Amino acid sequence: MASIFISHSKRDVEAINAFCQVFARTTMRAIFEEFENYVVPPWTKIKNDIQQSSAAFVLLSPHLSGTPYTQNWVSYEVGLACALNKPVWVYEQLEGPVLFPIPYLTDYIVYSPKNRGDLNSIKGLVETYDPSPAFLGLGLGAIIGGLLSGGAGAGVGAIMGAAALQRKSLGIPFRCPHETCGVQYKIYSQFQQFACPACRQIIYVDWTQTPPQQ
């Protein structure tokens, strides 16, 4: 069974429950490694788990960035995923932004664990990693549907809807405009203002003026 590594803190009960419910509705397996309960020595197990996963999800929260201990483990996991050429998805809660920079990422999602529409969209994104033939017959646009919560425009749903079966064409390709950053990732909501997940400097976007960057 294909899997996705989930970097999280066990204290984030609501987010964990939300992602458990999402994965339960897919054929993908979520690997939850808890910073608080690593087996000894932790790095080998984590490395194997990431190696075997199709992607890594980082569930940002105050608990995740609250201590040097957990911060270092997040860094280790993200660095490993980068070295192993795995996509890194940063998930930040709409209700609780955490200005903790993740220097390498491929996708940035702002969501609400309370929002059923958001969770359905995430389910659709998770399923793009499902290698089973059953999934290939489905149209992603129908699964993923509209905007993630908080988006200002109506473009994301259309982009997702047109992007049948091609994960690489989901999301809006974006490049941080700050000179000291310039990290490229995909975003899934058209916020007019947000903090870059890689450098945490504020970005202002006028979507009527700014076409997606390739």
Question: What CA–CA distance (Å, rounded) separates 179 from 138?
Answer: 41
Neighbours of 25 (CB within 10 A): 12
Q: Residue 110 CB, nearest distance to Zn ion (Å)?
A: 15
Question: What CA–CA distance (Å, rounded) separates 153 from 45?
Answer: 42
Regarding 198 and contact with Zn ion (CB under 5 A), the answer is yes
Regarding 105 and contact with Zn ion (CB under 5 A), the answer is no
Residue 83 DSSP SS3: helix
Helix (H) or strand (E) holding 33: strand 29-34
Of the two residues 5 and 191, which places its CB atom closer to Zn ion in the complex? 191
Question: What CA–CA distance (Å, rounded) separates 133 from 104?
Answer: 31
Regarding 196 and contact with Zn ion (CB under 5 A), the answer is yes
Q: Look at the chain and count its residues.
A: 214
List binders of Zn ion among 121-180 (CB under 5 A).
176, 178
Query: Which residue of 143, 199, 207, 212 would you call a contact of Zn ion, by CB under 5 A?
Result: 199
Q: Residue 199 CB, nearest distance to Zn ion (Å)?
A: 3
Regarding 90 and contact with Zn ion (CB under 5 A), the answer is no
Question: What CA–CA distance (Å, rounded) separates 119 from 23?
Answer: 10
Per DSSP, 211 falls in state P
Regarding 187 and contact with Zn ion (CB under 5 A), the answer is no
Q: Which stretch binds Zn ion (CB under 5 A): 8-16, 48-56, 95-103, 199-207?
A: 199-207
Of the two residues 30 and 181, which places its CB atom closer to Zn ion in the complex? 181
Of the two residues 46 and 102, which places its CB atom closer to Zn ion in the complex? 102
Q: Residue 177 CB, nearest distance to Zn ion (Å)?
A: 8
User: Count of residues binding Zn ion (CB under 5 A)?
Assistant: 6
Q: Which of 15, 6, 7 is nearest to 115 (CA)?
A: 15
Regarding 181 and contact with Zn ion (CB under 5 A), the answer is yes
CA angle (188 as vertex; 187, 191 as ends), nearest 5: 80
Query: Could you list the residues that contact Zn ion (CB under 5 A)?
Result: 176, 178, 181, 196, 198-199
